[in-house]
Every structure is written in structure tokens, then in C-alpha cells.
Amino acid sequence: MSLQQSGIFHETYKEDMAIFQTPFIKFWMAAFMVLLILFPWINKPLNALVNTNTLYLMNLIGIYIIGAHGLNILTGFTGQISLGHGAFMGVGAYASAILTVKVGIPFWFALPLAGLITALVGMVFGIPSLRLKGLYLAIATMAAQFIIGYAMRNWSTLTGGSTGIVVSSPSFFGISLGDDRSYYYLVYTLVIATTLYTKNLTRTRPGRAFVAIRDRYLAAEVIGVNVWLYRILSFGISSFLVGIAGSLWAHYVLVVNDEAFGIWLSVQYLAMIIIGGMGSVLGGIYGAVFMTLLPILLRIPEHALTQIYPGVFAIFQSMTEGVFGLIIILFLIFEPDGLAARWHTIKNYWKLWPFSY
């Protein structure tokens, strides 16, 4: 299906390294970009169809994609499990809220600063990764989840306690980014930037060091990779991205409180990259889309059934949760490498169709 010459011949290293290699791919990527740009103007009929605000969903997906890229760098590429990314997202949200409201810094500076602060916090909680691996590290990072959560609730002078902090929408040269549509462009600019960054990171020296550590940290150390440094760096970059996601969430919902950043969010992030595909940039995107859309799509049949049997709507709603869990389990059984791998299989199948061998 990919309309390319029989074999791609690269004449320069630059060509070999290009992300989008064929005109076919370039064309479809451009078409996809146009669709992305036009989406906020054509989403109205879609809203009625799926009975939700699709623009909000897109924004939420965008924010999750940035966070999922962050976790993917850490877990997918460096092989360090983190159960603290929900809390790290909270750190980004609170940092950005405190910087804009209490310190009075404009959003555009608070956003990267929130990322940096989160990176610092992430690096501190990443220190145990020097000695801990696998499940042990998962538990150690879960401690981060509880410690940060506790601080968010009880450090009232800084975080406003359980009432939280009220923040305002950012504006761009006088244009308020308060409505869903303008915020969409902000979010997706950052989604594209972080996606390209993540993709490129995997092709740089640190990126290769991450993969080396994941595959066999002892061998990596033997060939001269500074395991400790790169593990901490991985925690830093990963937390930076999640912090950016948190900051975006804060200025979108306009109130930061600790409830949104519990252990559930950490688990959700892990689920996203596992379902999407660990160690694949596309995986983070697919995972975020899947995890956000599935509950919404499941609500359509639920809604229809509720219309027919209005008295028992609670039963259908509980069933939706069950079906959600079931679908995730089935996915893990039949596609353990994630949606990205499935996409790859489909692509390869069509490449030679109908003459596959």
C-alpha cells in the first residue's frame, strides 16, 4: 500500500536518518497535519455522534500524550518502572499554579519552569534507581506518589490544602487561550514538539545509552555507559515532560487540587504505554488515545440502553467499567507488544497485499 520503489536506496546518511522517508509517508503526514489543524472547526457533527465534547477529549488526549511520552522514555526506553508519574504531573501542575498565581510569572515562563522543577523532583526520586530495579523500583517510586500526594494535601501555605489553587487561562499576545479551541492549538503545538523531541532523543547518544541500559545494564556499564548518570537523566527528562503535561492540565481546568493526581493516574499512564507499546514513540500516542477514548465509546451503547431502560441505568454504567477492564485484558493477551506493534503488522500486511508470502 505504500507506493514506493522496490527497495529504498539511500545515498546519504541524512536520507538514511530521515524520519519520514518516502513521498507517500510525507503526503499522508501532511494530510494528517491538515486534519489536525482543521479539527476544531469540523468537530461539531462528531460531538453529536459520540455525545461528548470531542475538542475537550482531544485536548485531554494531547496532554496525556505528552505525559505518556515522558513515561515511555523512562519505562519503555530506559527500562525503569515508575508508579509516581501521576504525582509528578501534579508537581508540574502545582509548580505552574504557584509560579503564576503566587509569584506572578507569566504562563509562558512558568510552563518550562514547571517542567524543570518537576524534572528536579523526578531526579531526586530517581536516585533509588541506582540500586533498585524492576518491582523494587516500582515500589520506591510509588512512595514518591504518596509523599508528594501528602505534601499536596497538607502543605497548605504552598498548595492551598485540599481546596487547591485557582489559576487563570494563559493568553497569547492579548488573545485569551481560555476556550477549548485556542487551547487545542497550544496543546497540539506542544504535542508535536514533544513527539519530535522524543523521536529524536532515541536517536542520540543519551537515547542509545538508555536503550543499552534497558537491554542489559551490566553490558552497558562495561562498554562505558555511565549507568547512574543516564538513569538519573532519564528520570529528569521523563519528569520534565510529565511536568509540562501537568502545567497544561492546570491552566486548562483552572483549578489545581490533589485529587486529580492520585495513584490511579500513575497506573493509567503505565497502562497507556503498555497498551500503546513500550519503547515506541507511536506507542505513547496510541495508548493515550485508546485509554481516553475507550470509556467514551463504551458509553454510547450504555447511553442507548439507558434510553430504553431508564430505570436501571446504574447497572449499565457498572457494566461499562467491567467491559473496559475486559478489553484491556484481551488486549494484553492478544497484543502484548501494544497497539504500535499491531499497527506495524497491519502496515506490513498491506505492503505486499495481495501477494504476501
The region of 112-120, 227-235, 256-264, 329-337 touching other proteins under the rule CB under 8 A is 256-264
DSSP state of 83: S
Q: Under 8 Å CB-to-CB from 191, ≥6 apart: which residues?
A: 62, 65, 66
The Cα 343–Cα 350 span in angstroms is 11
Q: Which of 124, 143, 153, 305 binds other proteins (CB under 8 A)?
A: 153
Piece of 76-84, 132-140, 272-280, 317-325 that binds other proteins (CB under 8 A) = 317-325
Does 174 interact with other proteins (rule: CB under 8 A)?
no
Cis peptide leading into 354, omega within 30 of 0?
yes
Q: Which of 333, 330, 328, 306 is nearest to 318 (CA)?
A: 306
Compute the distance between CA of residue 66 and CA of residue 284 in angstroms, rounded to an integer.
8
> Could you say whether residue 182 binds other proteins (CB under 8 A)?
no
Residue 47 contacts other proteins per CB under 8 A: yes
| Total of residues contacting other proteins (CB under 8 A) | 47
Contact present, 282 and 340 (Cβ < 8 Å): yes
State how far the Cα of 232 lies from the Cα of 246, in Å rounded to an integer.
20
* Single residue of 9, 13, 334, 355 touching other proteins by CB under 8 A: 355
Minimum distance between the CB of residue 53 and other proteins, rounded to whole angstroms? 4
- d(C-alpha 71, C-alpha 60), whole Å: 16
Binding mask 266-305 for other proteins (x = CB under 8 A): -----------------------------xx--x------
Cα–Cα nearest to 188, from 25, 19, 37: 37
Q: Residue 53 or 182: which CB sits closer to other proteins?
A: 53
Question: Least distance to other proteins from the beta carbon of 43, Å?
Answer: 9
The one-letter amino acid at 299: R
> Which grid cell is 105?
510569572
Q: Which is nearer to other proteins, 154 or 348 (CB)?
A: 154
Q: Are 258 and 266 in contact (CB under 8 A)?
A: no
Residue 314 found at the interface with other proteins (CB under 8 A): yes
Site string for other proteins, 97-136 (x = CB under 8 A): ----------------------------------------
Stretch that binds other proteins, among 25-33, 126-134, 150-158, 181-189 (CB under 8 A): 150-158
Q: CB 222 → other proteins: shortest distance, Å?
A: 45
Task: Show the 3-state SS of 166-194.
Answer: ECCCCEECCEECCCHHHHHHHHHHHHHHH
Residue position matching grid coordinates 497548605: 156
Residue from 124, 143, 171, 178 that binds other proteins (CB under 8 A)? 178
Give the ranges where 72-179 is alpha helix by DSSP (H): 85-98, 107-126, 134-154, 156-159
Task: Map the footprint of other proteins across residues 58-77, applying CB under 8 A.
Answer: 60
- Can residue 226 be called a binding residue for other proteins (CB under 8 A)? no
The residue range among 71-79, 129-137, 191-199, 348-356 that interacts with other proteins, by the rule CB under 8 A, is 348-356
Asked if 163 is part of the footprint of other proteins (rule: CB under 8 A), the reply reads: yes
Pairing relation of β-strands 171-172 and 175-176?
A: antiparallel
22 belongs to the binding site for other proteins (CB under 8 A)? no
Sole residue written with cell 430505570: 311
What DSSP designation does 345 have?
H
Main-chain phi, psi angles of 165, to 5 degrees:
-120, 135
Among 166, 196, 219, 332, the residue binding other proteins under the rule CB under 8 A is: 166
Can you tell me which of 25, 39, 56, 127 binds other proteins, judged by CB under 8 A? Answer: 56
Footprint of other proteins on this chain (CB under 8 A)? 1, 3, 45, 47-49, 51-53, 55-57, 60, 150, 153-154, 161-164, 166-167, 178, 180, 253-255, 257, 259-260, 264, 295-296, 299, 306-307, 310-311, 313-314, 317-318, 320-321, 353-355
